[in-house]
Amino acid sequence: MTTFTTSDGAEIFYKDWGRGQPIVFSHGWPLSGDAWDAQMLFFGQNGFRVIAHDRRGHGRSSQVWDNNNMDRYADDLAELIERLELRDVILIGHSTGGGEVTHYVGRHGNDRVAKVVLVGAVPPLMLKTADNPDGTPLEVFDGIRQGTAYNRSQFFKDLTIPFYGFNREGVEINEGLRESFWLQGLAGGIKGQYDSIREFSEVDYTDDLKAIKRPTLIVHGGDDQIVPIKASAHRAAEIVADATLKIYPQGSHGLAQLQAEEFNKDVLAFIRG
């Protein structure tokens, strides 16, 4: 177990493998760093140092009561990067992790960053508002809160169906992947996961996207049922100064796991390009 203690006393678990230019992975909700297994192995075998942490309240990190918010998530990431003395870092964030990566740059700058990859990421804003008509209505997120608070185990298991697009015609259900998602979700703490719902749904990351001054690859599934592409990837690609948008036409929210080989090759080409 490799951990470090943050400035506010939380214990953050992380994996740190390989040698070379560092890639730091930030996972989605309600998962852990294990969601990046296929990427950790691939990029580690291709000469990179690969690092994935469990967000506070998730996986093997502390289940703290307070400070389960995006400011603190970004600061935890900054403290990890500084502790490991990382520079020329490639930041890769999925879903909520995309918010974490983006907010890291907004709060801590670009100095240690080489490139950014956002995958099915929530920025700029998931919530439907007058200025964001393609967003998701608040009652959907209230439903996620309800499911997490009162029926977490079944809710997480059910969530795997739209998450991976297993409800689409011709998509074979991968029970192992569903079990992995469920186990990772239940390893986390209910309070941290509950608090995090607001952070991925109601926080506006527009200014953070504007702060990114490094080449950025934005990857999104055209059939993402969790983070609608119109309110996220399409808008983010217009906001980030040096952005490349890559759409997987039938891709789900979990495309980095379901289409790992294709995704890994695309990201490797971007990094080396």
The residues assigned a catalytic role are 95, 224, 253
CA distances from 101 to 23, 25, 106, 166, 211 (A): 12, 9, 9, 28, 12
Longest pairwise C-alpha distance within the chain: 48
Helix axes 96-108, 70-83, angle to 10 degrees: 70
Helix axes 190-201, 96-108, angle to 10 degrees: 70
Instruction: Provide the CB-side half-sphere exposure for 251 (13 A, CA).
Output: 23
* Contact (Cβ atoms closer than 8 angstroms) between residue 116 and residue 105: yes
Six token digits for residue 153: 């185990």
Six token digits for residue 28: 């989605």
CA distance 105 to 246: 21
Six token digits for residue 224: 């993402």
Query: How buried is residue 72: exposed, middle or buried, by Cβ count under 10 Å (0-12/13-18/19+)?
Result: buried
Strand 49-53 relative to strand 22-26, pairing = parallel
What are the residues facing 50 on neighbouring strands? 17, 23
CA distance 152 to 3: 27
> Which amino acid makes up residue 150?
Y
